[in-house]
Structure 1
Amino acid sequence: MNDEKPVLIVGGGIAGLCAAIALCRQGFEVELVEIRPTWNIPGVGIIQQSNVVREMARLGVLDAYLRAGFAFDDVALYDERGVQTVRMPGRRLAGPDYPANIGISRQALHRVLYEAATGLGARIRLGATVAECDERDDGVNVHFTDGIRANYALVIGADGIYSKIRGLLFQDRYQPVYTGQAVWRYNFPRRAEIDHLAVFSGPRGNAGLVPISEDLMYLFLTSCEGPGPHIDKSRLTVQMRDHLGEFGGVVGELADQITDNSKVVCRPLETVFVDENWFRGRLVLIGDAAHATTPHLGQGAGMAIEDAIVLSEELAGDGSLNTRLERFMARRFERCRFISEGSVLAGEREMAGDRSFDRAALTTRMQLVTAQPI
């Protein structure tokens, strides 16, 4: 690897922006391209658990991150009637003065990461992505979709589940797989009692309430949609309310307030796991491009953030580029596999209506695994 040449990051989501921050802090010159022509950030909110809080501290953005979201410690599980069955205190991995978990809107998280990346000198260009890569001994010649050509020491594919860079590496070997479920999200004014992550187990899906500011919380819901998602965009509110019909308690009370189709965020759940090295030569994948999973353990973004930090650390180390990337894989592969397989398992048990499935035990194991140093 020629450390004097810039590193290219493809994709301006959570993985890409965190990689830009981490690499800039390691002294690399960083360019990032994002295919969207404007920062139209999709989604509602996101849960960031204790391992993510720890990594945000390592990225140097924790204080801004805390100001932008809602900090909390506990996770509680409820049955479909709204009766609490388990309450699990979080572990303050970033230190005793910092919370275990944070709920934050995706727009607020993007602002924090974007401002940090650009403040550290990352150069970001919108409306472009990679068209072709020509790897040579001295770097990677990249031809972009906007006609620009440049040479880089390394290309990082942080371009999501439909990754163009993954296609360049593996052709069509790894394609997104639809799981049979969808996830629905909707914002509400925060209720005072929702000062923690509240997860409700239903007969064929889960719901949850996540505080993301003093005034706002969001509801998420997983639903069984069969072999093909049957989502009518003109009837999103009706469909979401129907799925919530099996829940009582606070979730059931909120169903009638879902009235605006434009505010319902719904997407089919798809997964990808690259079951071999996530790199070849001077191209490497991180985040959803390598291991997109379902939200059942709330760790998809967490694994992407960890990827970004570990990659930056290993690239700043000694040895050939191949040696550095092998070390990256050694630190990331099994951890991400565990999250991917556990998340998919939880979704499968939901769809099967398996009341014997011990979700609390899986969640506890996930917390223990992610609490370990990377």
Structure 2
Amino acid sequence: MALPAQRVLIIGGGFSGMSTAIQFRKLGVDVEIAEIDPNWRTDGAGITVSGPSLRALGAIGVLPQFREQGAMTRGVEQYSADGTLLHRIETPQVPGTDILGGGGIMRPVLANILADATRASGAVVRLGTTFSKIEQDEDAVTVEFTDGTRQSYDLLVAADGVYSSVRKALFPEAPTPAYSGQGVWRAVLPRFGAETSMMFFGKDSKVGFTPVSDDEMYLYYTELRPTRERIPDDQLLPHLRGLLDEYTAPILVKIREYLDESCQILYRPLEGMMMPRPWYKGRVLLIGDCVHATTPHMASGAGMGHEDAVVLGEEFARGGALPEVLERYQNRRWERCRMIVANSSRLGEIEMTGGSREEHGQIMSLSIAALLAPI
């Protein structure tokens, strides 16, 4: 099979980069990953994964490991702060699969699953290095690395995240991530009997949790915070406990009482960005959070990166000249990614303003239905 590119460099060894490497290796592409972190770490607590995102993980080939090491759930229940049920969002079976609902897993666990699959695929992983210079012509893209080496490739795929250095270097006119006005708190806790994902709405906030293993779940709390700022480590626990004061649902009372320093409490501001097309320039393509970074309200940020890898692999397999392949790829991804970024932003607005819980549920339901369509 004549491939549009035989030698590919992926800059960034996160979820999107690893997934792309795996898919390219299935086609016989020679793949290198340049990952700046010498320890190839993934920080963070849990991650909620939608059914359509699980479908992408199935296409990549790691769904069995997810089922074994994560947790599978069905439906999303929405409650008031006192525990009154407001709405139950159904998560139908993903067409063409045996996937019912969604799931959750610890981020480092999913990263390790993908890293193992990346190594097994035969991709070359270069740790502790990234690019220092990118040059390209009609025949190749040449990269100088921070370790002093220089190599030429047929294609460079940038998967270096929301603050992408490749985007900044090659697309200086591109938008930059915008702070949403919300921050998210996360913590890891026992499941307290929880069998599915739950959300509880306060005046201008939301708290929820998702099972991530047989005995653990992760809690998330989206807080209205007008300015983007860092919370000192010694304030994380008392601040999160204080935020939960308005929630009187029995399970949240238990959670507040249980919280301590062992719960891996994290806080980060929420940002988003949708880069207009084109997502490629010559032989350089941007994927994942480089072009469609979303807030986590639809639990689809990482899943969109996995889908990017699946679609890019499919378009490579279809063949054609490289510009045609990249154009087909971005056109397949554009509307789906735009919807997730826009709808996630709207959900955040509703939460911050104490808006309609009915609209919140409707947006989630309609988005879930739309995501069930083929990638």
Give TM-score, length-normalised by structure 2: 0.95
Match of residue 291 from structure 1: 292
How does 1:241-252 map onto structure 2 within 5 Å? Answer: 241-249=241-249, 250-252=251-253
Cα distance, 1:289 vs. partner? 0.7
**Structure 1 residues not aligned, in runs of 5+:** none
Cα distance, 1:232 vs. partner? 2.9
* Runs of 4+, deviation exceeding 6 Å: none
Distance 1:87 1:55, change over 3 A: same
Cα distance, 1:262 vs. partner? 7.7
Distance 1:261 1:215, change over 3 A: closer
Task: Please state whether the residue corresponding to 1:248 is helix, strand or coil.
Answer: coil
CA distance in 1, matches of 2:92, 2:127: 38
- 8 Å CA contact 2:197–2:208 kept in 1: the answer is yes
How does 1:31-46 map onto structure 2 within 5 Å? Answer: 31-46=32-47
Cα distance, 1:174 vs. partner? 1.8
Cα distance, 1:100 vs. partner? 2.3
CA distance in 1, matches of 2:164, 2:262: 29
CA RMSD of aligned residues (A): 1.8
Farther-moved stretch of structure 1 (353-362 vs 319-328) = 353-362
Farther-moved stretch of structure 1 (340-349 vs 2-11) = 2-11
Confirm or deny that 1:11 pairs with 2:8: no
Match of residue 222 from structure 1: 222
Match of residue 271 from structure 1: 272
**AA matched with 1:231:** I
CA distance in 1, matches of 2:229, 2:129: 30
CA distance in 2, matches of 1:71, 1:218: 14
**AA matched with 2:104:** G
What are the superposed Cα offsets for residues 237-273 of structure 1, whole Å, 9 maximum, x if unpaired?
A: 1111122122121123211322218821110111121
**Structure 2 residues not aligned, in runs of 5+:** none
Task: Please state whether the residue corresponding to 1:219 is helix, strand or coil.
Answer: strand
CA distance in 1, matches of 2:50, 2:357: 26
Distance 1:12 1:94, change over 3 A: farther
What are the superposed Cα offsets for residues 5-62 of structure 1, whole Å, 9 maximum, x if unpaired?
A: 4211111111111111111112211111111111322000111111011112111221
- 8 Å CA contact 2:62–2:117 kept in 1: the answer is yes
Match of residue 211 from structure 1: 211
- 8 Å CA contact 2:211–2:217 kept in 1: the answer is yes
Distance 1:85 1:227, change over 3 A: same
**AA matched with 2:200:** F
Match of residue 256 from structure 1: 257
Task: Please state whether the residue corresponding to 1:372 is helix, strand or coil.
Answer: coil
Task: Please state whether the residue corresponding to 2:181 is helix, strand or coil.
Answer: strand
Cα distance, 1:98 vs. partner? 3.6
Cα distance, 1:72 vs. partner? 1.5
Task: Please state whether the residue corresponding to 1:36 is helix, strand or coil.
Answer: coil
Match of residue 169 from structure 1: 170
- 8 Å CA contact 2:90–2:365 kept in 1: the answer is no
- 8 Å CA contact 2:4–2:322 kept in 1: the answer is no
Distance 1:184 1:3, change over 3 A: same
- 8 Å CA contact 1:204–1:351 kept in 2: the answer is yes
Cα distance, 1:122 vs. partner? 0.9
Farther-moved stretch of structure 1 (79-88 vs 31-40) = 79-88
- 8 Å CA contact 1:53–1:94 kept in 2: the answer is no
- 8 Å CA contact 2:167–2:174 kept in 1: the answer is no
- 8 Å CA contact 1:183–1:268 kept in 2: the answer is yes
Match of residue 236 from structure 2: 236
Farther-moved stretch of structure 1 (338-347 vs 258-267) = 258-267
CA distance in 2, matches of 1:96, 1:41: 29
CA distance in 2, matches of 1:230, 1:79: 29
Distance 1:158 1:188, change over 3 A: same
Task: Please state whether the residue corresponding to 1:20 is helix, strand or coil.
Answer: helix
CA distance in 1, matches of 2:263, 2:374: 41
Farther-moved stretch of structure 1 (127-136 vs 352-361) = 352-361
What are the superposed Cα offsets for residues 305-334 of structure 1, whole Å, 9 maximum, x if unpaired?
A: 111110111122222111111111111001
Distance 1:230 1:243, change over 3 A: farther
- 8 Å CA contact 2:187–2:263 kept in 1: the answer is no
Match of residue 79 from structure 1: 80
**AA matched with 2:228:** G
**AA matched with 2:82:** R
Give TM-score, length-normalised by structure 1: 0.95
CA distance in 2, matches of 1:200, 1:262: 20
What are the superposed Cα offsets for residues 101-123 of structure 1, whole Å, 9 maximum, x if unpaired?
A: 11111111011111111101111
- 8 Å CA contact 1:50–1:94 kept in 2: the answer is no
Distance 1:262 1:88, change over 3 A: closer
Farther-moved stretch of structure 1 (255-264 vs 310-319) = 255-264
**AA matched with 2:247:** F
Cα distance, 1:146 vs. partner? 1.4
**AA matched with 2:118:** A
**AA matched with 1:197:** S
Cα distance, 1:4 vs. partner? 5.9
Match of residue 186 from structure 1: 187
What are the superposed Cα offsets for residues 56-91 of structure 1, whole Å, 9 maximum, x if unpaired?
A: 211122111211101112211111112222223322
Task: Please state whether the residue corresponding to 1:316 is helix, strand or coil.
Answer: helix
CA distance in 2, matches of 1:205, 1:254: 17
**AA matched with 2:312:** L
CA distance in 2, matches of 1:168, 1:149: 18
Cα distance, 1:370 vs. partner? 0.5
